[in-house]
Structure 1
Amino acid sequence: MENKYNLLVIDDDAPIHIMMDKMLGAEYRILKAHSAQEGIDMLAKEPIHFILSDIHMPGMSGLDFLEALTMDAERRNIPILIMTSLPTVEKEKAALGLGASDFIDKALFNENREEVLNRIRMKLVAHVEIPDLPEALVLDKKEIIKKLLFDVSSGDFVTTVQKLCKILGQKLKADHLSFWTINDENVQMLLANGIQPPRRYGPRELKEEDTFQRVLEQKRPYLVNNVMNSQKGILRELSKQEKLTAEIGIPLFALTDKELVKNKMKIPPKTPLFGFVVLKRRRVFTSTEYKMTSVLMMNLGTILWRLYKDM
């Protein structure tokens, strides 16, 4: 039990708790509350990683509970999925406006169990806590996550990567962003936003880069703020020509969000890579920008890998 994430289910309907046990009990430790106040009391006793709350309950409603939790400095970042048997656009807007991570029709629990599980896993994977992050980066992180999670449910791998890279590049004001897929010896550039690599630069040239070979070997992200005078960094000729002195490189792992959650958000050392993201710009990257971007992208990469496998 201690290796499982704690999911708190708040609902005054007893059959819902039975359903949640059957649906989620194999992957998570399910804690039960039959009212919003009981849920608040449970939060004081146990570490809670995720909350599923009904919207309609006697006394304090799910929306009242959500609003109260957003004012709790210690617990306001816990992902909350609001459930209802009578979904409306107004209710969904109200829940999301108060900070809910997701809004779901209870009918989906019977109609598409795997989608429910995927949505919970995605919220856990995307819930990246980075201490001392400036407020501007906190807001950027939330917007990137919100954009990705919306697109995952309505798009395929390529479309999701395109939209994620677009908003990531915008938020970091990157002058160049490229996304490469890795399949054993086969490396392909899926997209390049902003300043483009030279036409002659392709998979073969990338594989000849010392920095890329180190990424394959060490499987760690890197930051360099002076590409021209460092041993790190790719596309040196382009970097010099366009004054792209700063670079972040991020490996993406062939690990699904389900596997990451099961492994308590740790990537096993021998996990192969499936992708490589490069961001370059003329302004230096701060340490907090680097930490947010690398941790967030490696976690979100597990969602992309699941979509990649489904192509």
Structure 2
Amino acid sequence: MEKQTILVIDDEKSTHVMLKAMLGKDFNLKFANSAQEGIDLAAENSINLVLLDIQMPELSGIELLESIMTDIALRSVPVIVMTGKATEDIEEQAREIGATEFVSKEFLFSNKDDFKSLLNEHLLEEAKQFKLSDRYKQDFRTIIKKIQTESVHGDFFSACRKLAVGLMNSFDIDYISFWKIQRSKPSLILSIGDRQPENFGPDELMSERAFRELARTKRPYMTNNPRAEENKGVFADTSKELGLSSEAGIPLFKIDKDTFTKNGMVIPGSTPLFGFVILKRNRVFTTKEYKLLSRFIIQCGTILWGLYRKLYSNNE
């Protein structure tokens, strides 16, 4: 009989060693040192249960639990929260969010048989997997063709819309917005999605740390809980209300397709921005998805830049 798989997410190596000694003969164990590594392992493996440490750097266990419970693909997987410093407030918070059980590490390591019984009680009979579709390569080619057609026969707004719709269909994006940056200030170009944040415009965005960092570093960012990581996401509280647990921000550069290609598909460090894209959804982003989306949107941006120049030539 094939062993059931338990994903352990804990930044303490000692916990990994002890759990392997306790459970290794009975279960197939996968170990993650961080929340994002746990998300990536969940995408690569079929999981029957998650053991989640509550105290971790960057994205904490509570913050990851919030995102898992929002994620339509992962929320059916049982999550047992474990902690070395149990308090009634933390336990109540974890259970309210959706934790199946809450255990102290003291109990976990001193009551081996009881802990195994707890695991067996909650293990899914049929493992779940959060998997990236293999169709993305074909989808990317289709989207690129549509944008290239717009570059000849269409306009900037139409090309942005086609890119947005293609990404929403291929990557389950719930909300996407395109912004231009002119004289260091953002302006909304286009937003699409059923879950539209209200009363949020350029003035509000200027106060967001995520926007300021993107504009300063000219680098993409990703977070699987916009309210975590020192407010790394934009309109974080509204996003939570709308059930949008994850976010990516991708810069758009002032470089055309030919120059980009001649430069080995690399953006020169001195290239300024003309805009950026924000993606939000109710599923966590894996590292692979984030890297694929970043590269693809930056590539598409080289086509959009040509259309943008035609539209805003008098203001650039």
Q: TM-score, normalised to structure 1's length?
A: 0.55
CA displacement, residues 88-126 of structure 1 (integer Å, 9 cap, x when unaligned): xxxxxxxxxxxxxxxxxxxxxxxxxxxxxxxxxxxxxxx
- Residue 81 of structure 1 corresponds to none
Query: Partner residue of 2:285?
Result: 285
Give the secondary structure class of the aligned counterpart of 1:308: helix
Name 2:253's counterpart in structure 1: 253
Aligned to 1:212: 211
The higher relative CO (CA closer than 8 Å, separation ≥ 6) is in 2
CA apart distance, 1:134 = 5.8
Within 5 Å, which residues of 2 pair with 1:1-311? 135-194=134-193, 195-199=195-199, 201-231=200-230, 232-311=232-311
Task: Give 1:228 shift.
Answer: 2.2
RMSD: 1.5
| Contact 1:251/1:277 (8 A) holds in 2 | yes
Deviation at 1:307, TM superposition (A): 0.9
Deviations 1:214-271 (A, max 9, x none): 0011111111112222221111121110121111110010111122123222211121
Equivalent-residue separation in structure 2 for 1:186 and 1:218 (angstroms): 15
Partner residue, 2:94: none
Structure 2 match to 1:19: none
Distance between the aligned counterparts of 2:263 and 2:137, measured in 1? 25
Kindly indicate whether the alpha-carbon contact (under 8 Å) linking 1:137 and 1:289 is maintained by their aligned counterparts in 2.
no
SS at structure 2 position matched to 1:135: coil
Please say if residues 180 and 276 of structure 2, whose CA atoms lie closer than 8 Å, have aligned partners that are also in contact: yes
Look up the match of 2:127: none
Q: Deviations over 1:44-68 (max 9, x none)?
A: xxxxxxxxxxxxxxxxxxxxxxxxx
| CA deviation after TM superposition for structure 1 residue 197, in Å | 2.0
Gapped runs of 5+ residues in structure 1? 1-132
Shift of 1:283: 0.8
Distance in 2, matches of 1:299 and 1:142, equals 12
Q: 1:175-228: CA deviations, max 9, x gaps?
A: 1111101112332101111121212x1111111100110001111111111222
Q: CA deviation at 1:286?
A: 1.7
Q: Structure 1 residues 249 and 142 mapped into 2: Cα distance closer, same or farther (>3 Å)?
A: same
Structure 2 gaps, min length 5: 1-131, 312-316
Return the alpha-carbon distance in structure 1 between the equivalents of residues 281 and 223 of structure 2: 11
Aligned residue for 2:222, secondary structure, equals: strand
Shift of 1:137: 1.9
Amino acid at match of 2:278: V
Per the alignment, in what secondary structure is the counterpart of residue 153 of structure 2? Answer: coil
Cα pair 2:174 2:282 within 8 Å, conserved:
yes
Report the number of matched residues: 178
CA distance in structure 2 between the aligned counterparts of 1:237 and 1:134, rounded to whole angstroms? 30
